[in-house]
Amino acid sequence: MMVIDFHTHCYPQKVVAKALSAVQGRLKPATDGTRDGLIASMHEAGIDYSLALALVTNPANSLGVNRWAAEQNHAPVFFTGSLHPDDPMPETTLDFIAKSGLKGIKLHPEYQQFEFREERLFLLWERCCELGLFVVTHAGYDIMFQPPWHTDPERLAAFHRRFPELQLVLAHLGSMTLWDDVEKYLLGLPVYFDLAFVTPDYIEPERLVRIIRRHGAERILFGTDSPWCDQKKQLEFIRSLPLTPQEQELIFWKNAAKLLDLPLSTPQALRRRA
Ligand SMILES: [Zn+2]
Distance 238 CA to ligand 1 centre (A): 17
The pLDDT tens digits of the residues spanning 11-47 come to: 999 999 998 988 888 889 999 999 999 999 999 999 9
pLDDT of residue 24: 83
Distance 126 CA to ligand 1 centre (A): 24
**Rounded to 5 degrees, what angle do the CA atoms 215, 221, 226 make?**
135
Distance 11 CA to ligand 1 centre (A): 12
CATH of domain 4-273: 3.20.20.140
Distance 6 CA to ligand 1 centre (A): 10
Distance 177 CA to ligand 1 centre (A): 14
Kindly list the protein residues that place their beta carbon closer than 5 angstroms to ligand 1, a single-atom ion.
225
The pLDDT tens digits of the residues spanning 52-62 come to: 999 999 999 99
Q: Report the pLDDT averaged over residues 224-252.
A: 98
Q: Report the pLDDT averaged over residues 218-222.
A: 98
